Amino acid sequence: MTTLPTNVLIVDDIHPVFLEKLQQRNIAFDYRPAIGREETLEIIARYTGLVIRSKFKVDAAFLDAAPQLAFIARGGAGMDNIDEAYALQKGVVLLNAPEGNRDAVGEHMIGMLLGLMNNLNRSNNEVRSGLWRREENRGLELGGRTVALIGYGNNGQAMARKLSGFGVTVIAYDKYKTGFSDAYATEVSMEEVVKRADILSLHIPLTRETRNMVDDEYLFHFRKPIFFLNGARGEIVHIPSILKGLDEGRILGAAFDVLPVEKFPNLARQPWFVPLIKHEKVALSPHVAGWSVESYFKIADILADKVIAHLAP
């Protein structure tokens, strides 16, 4: 088999800094942000590199159609739209840029938490509707509470740093890391999390192990009512279990930037969708926590550097 010279196919929108950095290094690329999966499949055999965000799944069939593919660079944090095991089996190097959006995710999720604790969505809507209800919208302070982070990678660490000025205790559990306590969070067991948490925030990837991890059984063990935050991956959480927890008072409020099914019309067809959007203790955003103006640049900038480093002789 003859190895092709480096030629990169970019199938998703990305900040121009990525293109500029590749041009500066004379790395050949085709920028095709409007291309779909089927058309990509027809031409991917010509390329040695693929740059993608979340446009489509890079599964075994796709990888088999790309015999020259040497690396895949994902413009984001998680790699769950890529069959990692099969890619690695075929010798494809996987690159991503979780450093690029970690600050955006931390700020966004804290914003959602503060909105829940201070009834901001409800009170905003009430004032606009001619209601002035002060007592009913009395808020809760974040200071003095314990925030439990599940996962202490890039996003978990950024969340802990962002919380450091709020006067909270931050604890973290990570099944795959030990000895990671630092100035911002203390490593604890899951037993400590369920005993101490006032706020639970997810910062883990979607894997076979974490899919539907947060269900009735998982939530049953928490000793206190909690605020629940998911800015990780929607499929980690069984939404009916959260709704049940809200109705029973075991969950005081829930914020979702991600959902198990995203985008319309499919989202509106889910049996849990109407109860979710009607619940006044739920805050929702359309998977934008990691997609700030600044992170759009940072993801591309960092990913370009990683691609260049990978290709360096």
| CB-based contact 52:12 (threshold 8 Å) | yes
Residue, of 6 and 270, whose pLDDT is higher: 270
For residue 114, what are the contacts with CB-CB under 8 A and spacing of at least 6? Answer: 120, 142
pLDDT given for residue 313 in this prediction = 67
Q: Which of 78, 96, 114 is the last residue of a domain?
A: 96
Q: Which of 45, 68, 96 is the last residue of a domain?
A: 96
Range(s) of the domain holding residue 180: 100-284
In a domain, 295, yes or no: no
Does residue 134 carry a pLDDT above 70? Answer: yes
In a domain, 2, yes or no: no
For residues 120 and 122, what is the distance between their CA atoms, to the nearest angstrom?
A: 6
Q: 273-313: per-residue pLDDT in tens? A: 999 999 999 999 999 999 999 999 999 999 999 999 999 86
Determine whether 308 is exposed, middle or buried from the number of CB atoms within 10 Å of its CB (0-12, 13-18, 19+). middle
Note whether 68 and 154 are same-domain residues: no
pLDDT given for residue 1 in this prediction = 42
pLDDT given for residue 286 in this prediction = 97
> Can you give the CATH number for the domain in which 232 is found?
3.40.50.720
pLDDT band at 153 (very low <50, low <70, confident <90, very high): very high
List helix spans (H) across the chain.
Answer: 16-24, 37-43, 60-64, 84-89, 98-117, 120-128, 154-163, 190-196, 216-220, 239-248, 273-278, 293-311
Q: 94-127: per-residue pLDDT in tens? A: 999 999 999 999 999 999 999 999 999 999 999 9
Q: What is the CA radius of gyration of the chain?
A: 21
Does residue 88 carry a pLDDT above 60? Answer: yes
Q: At what angle do helices 120-128 and 98-117 cross, to 10 degrees?
A: 60
Note whether 174 and 199 are same-domain residues: yes
In a domain, 172, yes or no: yes
Note whether 104 and 219 are same-domain residues: yes
Note whether 174 and 50 are same-domain residues: no
The sheet with strand 169-173 has its strands ordered as 186-187, 169-173, 146-150, 199-202, 226-230, 251-256, 282-284
| CB-based contact 99:298 (threshold 8 Å) | yes
pLDDT band at 2 (very low <50, low <70, confident <90, very high): very low
Does residue 3 carry a pLDDT above 70? Answer: no
In a domain, 306, yes or no: no
Q: 171-219: per-residue pLDDT in tens? A: 999 999 999 999 999 999 999 999 999 999 999 999 999 999 999 999 9
In a domain, 194, yes or no: yes
pLDDT given for residue 10 in this prediction = 97
pLDDT band at 76 (very low <50, low <70, confident <90, very high): confident
For residue 260, what are the contacts with CB-CB under 8 A and spacing of at least 6? Answer: 234, 235, 237, 239, 270
Give the mean model confidence (pLDDT) for residues 143-169.
97
- CA neighbor of 302 nearest in space, from 6, 155, 12, 95: 95
Q: Which of 64, 96, 128 is the last residue of a domain?
A: 96
pLDDT band at 80 (very low <50, low <70, confident <90, very high): confident
Note whether 130 and 21 are same-domain residues: no
pLDDT given for residue 54 in this prediction = 86
